Structure 1
Amino acid sequence: MSTKRYPDELKARAVRMVLDHREEYPTQYAAIKAIAQRLDVGTESLRLWVKRADVDAGREPGVTSQEREEIKRLKRENAELKRANEILKSAASFFARELDPPRK
């Protein structure tokens, strides 16, 4: 299965077309299918783009793109802090051994 990367402009245009013309079709999926064919993009890709746009606009419940980016940033920061904490623990242990040698 190969994944095709679509330009952001094409994604935005396709989503706008679905949002502007979905009343002309019996279902939103029918609009997505017709517009996906017209623009030569995957139907499932367009469905996901429209869903993301609906969540971002507050028309559907879910985590917005902005919130998702913030969560990713916080997870990276958390992982970095955990690594730093482990390094500090190792350093503290090393220096404790060096400064307090075993007595005979």
Structure 2
Amino acid sequence: MSSRSKYPEQFRRDAIELVNSSDRPLRQIARELGVNHETLRSWVNTAKQAAEAGPVEDPAEAQELQRLRKRVAELEKEQEILRKAAAYFAREMDR
């Protein structure tokens, strides 16, 4: 949604919510809100497309997620080595 709109973002979100939750026709809701019905339809379609596309991934979050996955893999390898070492030393102690 364009930030250059003469309608505040919260108004647009509320209008979209009203369209999605109401049984009334979009034209009627647009008339009641004082908005052109094609403008309201555009807002609803844009919101629907954004919802279908899913959340926009933040590059910093993606980088952090990659770093954390790498760290988890390293820790899992260390855990496996320690588990094997513990089993080896347990066998040695039984001799």
Normalised TM-score (structure 2):
0.47
Greater RCO structure (CA 8 Å; 6+ sep):
2
Larger radius of gyration: 2
State TM-score, norm by structure 1: 0.44
